[in-house]
Amino acid sequence: MKSLYTLLVALAAGATAVTTPIDLKLSSVGGSQVKVTITNTNQDTGYNILKVNTVLEDFHTKRLTITNGGTEVDFTGITGATYIADELDEESFFPLLPGQTREVVIDVAEGYWVHKTDTSRHDIIATGWFHYAALNSTQIVKNDGFPYTSNTLSIDIDQAEAKIVFDKYTAQKLAKRVDISSTCEGSEITKLKQALMDCKEIAHNAAEDVREGTSSYYSKYFFRLDWQEVKGRLEAISSHCGSLGVFDAVIYCRDPYTVSRCTTRGVAAYSRDKDDTIVLCPAYFQLPGIRRACNGYTSGSMAGAMIHELTHMSRVYTPICSDYAYGSARSARLCRDYATGNADSYALYAMDLFLGCLAL
């Protein structure tokens, strides 16, 4: 079996095969802090890059992959967020002028369990996909974007100091859980129950459609040899959506964390795998239960968003999915190493099958 580090190197090689104007470099700035230097190598065109679910994210989202001896380091924080593209405002974007270089700093001890690893030596890499709008715009350019892959940064981290940072982070950012009944009220409960019922049916139908990777809907997003993992994940999602009351993950209709991800305009839901929580933001309850049009986005329905978030939960299925791409056009173009690990691919597959959106 390949180590995670070997896989990440392979992913990096695959990503860089696609032309991208964005150059990303990681460097150490002392302690557990890592500087991300991002450069727009295009001297003629600027980009307003979407920060959500990328290395540029402001919130404590899983922005980096950190390994210790080839094993991925645990993470406490947001593992993925579902957003409504048309509702995003300028705070969710990171403008890069032609030829411009900007920097952000990430303290990896805030959320990553680098203080608990076997050794102090850690390998850090950033991989993903940047969606973008034109400068001074928040309208994401559909069916386009750039892959990003940084260098691999190897650093020694003082684990005693990292534990102090981690403990301070968890004390400030995390709050006690409350029962779902006390966070969801009235019509929210009704809508949530229906969304879970729809999720159960739609995910089940998709699992039945897999058929050893021969389904045309399946092959739109996945590769034939991976059919067992895809089927298993969809079956697990269907099972969890049908087990209201004995749910492994706690669902909130009010954000219980002191730093609220729901304050970002356009964010409908997000998940925190290490805390076994899914948070449904006010925007989630404005969505239709099931989208009736082939618009290419899972964020257009409560059921699709629920399927997406459940792929981020290890209590549902392991390994959990990441957000490599959003939308039908981009997700359908992922290579095999990314496709089975992309959250949106599962929700899109299930919703496309349900609506008959094969050609989109």
51-64, pLDDT tens digit by residue? 988 999 877 788 89
Identify the CATH assignment for 180-355 out of 3.40.50.720, 3.40.140.10, 3.40.390.10, 3.30.70.890. 3.40.390.10
Give start-end residues of each CATH 2.60.40.2970 domain in the chain.
4-173
pLDDT for residue 1 = 35
Is position 323 annotated in a ligand binding site?
A: yes
Per the prediction, the chain carries an average pLDDT of: 86
pLDDT for residue 299 = 64
Q: What proportions of the chain, in percent to the nearest 5, are helix, strand and coil?
A: 40, 20, 40
pLDDT for residue 178 = 32
- Higher model confidence: residue 103 or residue 79? 103
Amino acid letter, 279: V
Angle (nearest 5°) at CA 319 between 5 and 223: 85
Q: Is 309 tagged catalytic?
A: yes
Per this entry, what is the length of the chain?
Answer: 360
| Element at 15 (helix H, strand E) | helix 4-16
Is position 308 annotated in a ligand binding site?
A: yes
pLDDT for residue 114 = 96
Tens of pLDDT, residues 92-151: 999 999 999 999 999 999 989 999 999 999 999 999 889 999 999 999 987 788 889 999
Tens of pLDDT, residues 157-189: 999 999 999 888 776 654 433 335 467 888 998
- Higher model confidence: residue 6 or residue 36? 36
pLDDT for residue 186 = 86
Q: What is the DSSP letter of 73?
A: P
Which residue has tokens 């076994």? 276
Is position 312 annotated in a ligand binding site?
A: yes
Give start-end residues of each CATH 3.40.390.10 domain in the chain.
180-355
Candidates 103, 201, 208, 309; catalytic one: 309
Across the range 188-198, mean pLDDT stands at 90
**Token pair recorded at residue 297:** 């986005």
Domain 4-173 carries which CATH code?
A: 2.60.40.2970
Residue 12 has pLDDT above 70, yes or no: no
What's the CA gap between 352 and 332, in Å, rounded?
12
Residue 253 has pLDDT above 50, yes or no: yes
3-state DSSP call for residue 329?
Answer: helix
Burial 123-135 (b: 16+ CB within 10 A, else e): bbbbbbbbbbbee
Tens of pLDDT, residues 255-265: 887 667 888 88
Across the range 267-296, mean pLDDT stands at 87
What's the CA gap between 5 and 67, in Å, rounded?
7
